[in-house]
Amino acid sequence: MADLVLTARTGGLLRLTGPLDLRADGGVVTVDGDEVLVEGAEGTAPPVIQPPPPSSPLDDGEDVEVIVSLNEDVTAHGKPIVTQGMVLQGRNRTWPGMVLPSQANEAVMVGQLAANVVGDRAAIFPSGAVATLTDSGQQG
């Protein structure tokens, strides 16, 4: 089982454009060892408490899922690589949010945007909370 490791030369950029489907031989696609996020990537955030107490929240689930990437052309194992995009939070995927620009990867670009990797974050709109994306979505 081997991962496909994307890296740029020191001080340079690796710019990917599509259509392109990256595949690792039994492993995952990474940027310098960090798994690349694909649509379906998951994480958690503090629950959205709406409406405020004393009413009970509409949906207080903590799970967050990336539902769409701004990139649709470059994929990993057939799923679009996340370059920012939209997330939904909650048991019923009630609360929208946005994947933030990558903080861990500045060298591997898909088009004009950096590919997001595990550990990157999303902002949940109703609460302003930050979700950490901990599962790349590449497995299963």
| pTM greater than 0.85 (yes/no) | yes
In the chain, the number of structural domains is: 1
Q: For residue 97, how many C-alpha atoms fall within 13 Å in the half-sphere facing its CB?
A: 35
Q: What confidence tens digit (pLDDT) does each residue in 72-94 have? A: 999 999 999 999 999 999 999 99
Kindly state whether residue 140 falls inside one of the protein's structural domains.
no
Residues 6+ apart with CB under 8 A from 139: 28
Structural domain span for residue 109: 2-135
Calculate mean pLDDT across residues 17-38.
Answer: 94
Kindly state whether residue 20 falls inside one of the protein's structural domains.
yes
Q: Which of 15-19, 115-119, 125-129 has the highest mean pLDDT?
A: 115-119
Question: How many other C-beta atoms lie within 10 A of the C-beta of residue 66?
Answer: 29
| Cβ burial 70-102 (10 Å sphere, 16+ → b, else e) | bbebbbbeebbbbbbbbbbbbeeebbebebeeb
Tell me what pLDDT residue 140 has. Answer: 57
